[in-house]
């Protein structure tokens, strides 16, 4: 509960020195949080795809859940699409990956990085 007590910047949490976040900073923080959430969700979908693939594999040839590389991700996508032609996890993973990349590009362009 933040209580404003005039222009001194004093609030329930103490003296903030009158510092207020600009609208741009708030938007950039929100976009960065969206990007982080999207990449975590993408990794969740990739992990779910590995689980689905491992259910159809022999015990000796299971795919490890650890160590994501681009070649391993492509192999998981390829194998998931061949084993589950009507599966949707790869589509969800791609959508969340695109959201992540777009959010990070917007943040980078806005900050002129």
Can you give 27-43 as a three-state secondary structure string? HHHHHHHHHHHHHHHHH
2 within domain boundaries: no
The answer to whether residue 7 sits within a structural domain is no
Residue 42 Cα to chain centre, angstroms: 6
E strands along the chain, which residues? 10-11, 14-15
Do the domain assignments include residue 56? yes
Full-model pTM: 0.76
CA-based radius of gyration for the chain: 21
Locate 28 and state its tokens.
């950039």
Summarised one tens digit per residue, pLDDT across range 38-51 is: 999 999 999 999 99
The total of structural domains in the chain comes to 1
Tell me which residue of 27, 3, 32, 7 sits closest to 17, measured CA to CA: 7
Q: Which DSSP state fits 66?
A: S
What residues make up the domain containing 98? 22-110
In a domain, 4, yes or no: no
For residue 57, give every residue at least 6 positions away whose Cβ sits within 8 Å of its Cβ, in sequence order, or none.
63
User: pLDDT exceeding 70 applies to what percent of the chain?
Assistant: 83
Residue 3 lies in a domain: no
Token look-up 């990085």 returns 113
Residue 17, in any domain of the structure? no
Is 99 part of any domain?
yes
- Calculate the average pLDDT of the chain: 86
Which of 5-9, 46-50, 53-57 is least confident? 5-9
Phi, psi for 11 (deg, rounded to 5): -130, -175
The reply to whether 8 falls in a domain is no
């Amino acid at each position: 509960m933040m209580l404003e007590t005039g222009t001194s910047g004093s609030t329930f949490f103490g003296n903030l020195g009158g510092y207020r976040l600009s609208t741009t900073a708030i938007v950039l923080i929100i976009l960065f949080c969206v990007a982080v959430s999207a990449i975590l969700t993408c990794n969740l979908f990739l992990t779910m795809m590995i689980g689905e693939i491992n259910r159809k594999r022999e015990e000796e040839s299971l795919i490890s859940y650890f160590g994501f590389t681009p070649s391993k991700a492509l192999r998981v996508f390829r194998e998931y699409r061949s084993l589950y032609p009507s599966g949707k996890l790869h589509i969800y993973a791609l959508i969340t990956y695109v959201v992540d990349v777009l959010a990070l590009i917007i943040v980078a362009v806005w900050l002129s990085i």
